[in-house]
Amino acid sequence: MMYMILKAIFRRTALALLLCMPLLATAQAVKPAAPAAATAIATFGGGCFWCVEEAFDKVAGVISTTSGYMGGQLKNPTYPQVSAGGTGHNEVVQVVYDPAKVSYAQLLDAFWRNIDPTQANGQFCDHGSQYRSEIFYHDDAQRKAAEASKAALQKTKPFAGDIRTLITRSAEFYAAEDYHQDYYKKNPIRYNYYKTSCGRQARLQEVWKTQ
């Protein structure tokens, strides 16, 4: 009797597993693999990196921005060293972006609109080569795009004066100290006071003929 009961239980269990197996197999077969997001990097120097970081954070398709230093000779430079002007570094922002949402050409356009291209060795109230306007290209395609963008702007510019912005091969990037990252978010009162007193917005309106 016990043998017959166990045999019946075994048959029902086996049948249930058999009926479920196609469903499980089907569920596993159609489960898609998550595609890896494709990203790219662009690096720009446009004066105070606090302001450049804010500008690029507003661009749709930009994933992240990091303030830092590029273009100098000293390894692991600090802010006091760079700001003193003796290391050859430039204050830059490294931009990680999604090329499917924003093109490098669009990033170049955002860059131009947030600098004074006519000012050499500085931007707005910040003077010295550490604040120079500079496009650091990461590959040949970026170099060609930057050069084409600069040439086109030279023909259509709404401002007087030559374009003094440099186009340079990218070098080792050093992230700035933590307190510089997202400074405009962490210290909005101090940041807005600096931005206004430096005359950045007023000069941008003058250069680009905007209100």
Question: Domain count of the chain?
Answer: 1
**What CA–CA distance (Å, rounded) separates 93 from 54?**
10
pLDDT > 90? residue 30: no
Q: What are residue 96's DSSP bridge partners?
A: 41, 64
CATH number of the domain encompassing residue 136: 3.30.1060.10
Domain interval for residue 180: 40-208
pLDDT > 60? residue 7: no
Q: Is residue 54 part of a domain?
A: yes
Choose the catalytic residue: 48, 51, 125, 198.
48
Q: Is residue 14 part of a domain?
A: no
- CB neighbour list of residue 60: distance below 8 Å, 6 or more residues apart: 101, 102
Given a contact cutoff of 8 angstroms between Cβ atoms, the answer to whether 69 and 45 are in contact is no
Q: Residue range 177-187: average pLDDT?
A: 98
pLDDT > 50? residue 2: no
pLDDT > 60? residue 146: yes
Tokens of 102: 């924003």
Q: Is residue 187 part of a domain?
A: yes
Q: Is residue 11 part of a domain?
A: no
Q: Is residue 141 part of a domain?
A: yes
pLDDT at 41: 98
pLDDT at 47: 98
How many beta carbons lie within 10 A of that of residue 140, not counting itself?
9
Q: Is residue 3 part of a domain?
A: no
Q: Among the listed ranges 34-38, 60-64, 117-121, which one has the minimum average pLDDT value?
A: 34-38
pLDDT at 62: 98
pLDDT at 8: 42
- What DSSP state is assigned to residue 90? E
pLDDT > 90? residue 58: yes
pLDDT at 137: 98
Q: Is residue 33 part of a domain?
A: no
Given a contact cutoff of 8 angstroms between Cβ atoms, the answer to whether 123 and 46 are in contact is yes
pLDDT at 170: 98
Amino acid 96 reads V
Question: Taking phi first (over 0 means left), then psi (-120 to 50 degrees means alpha), and beta for anything else, what does residue 120 get?
Answer: beta
Catalytic residue list contains 48: yes
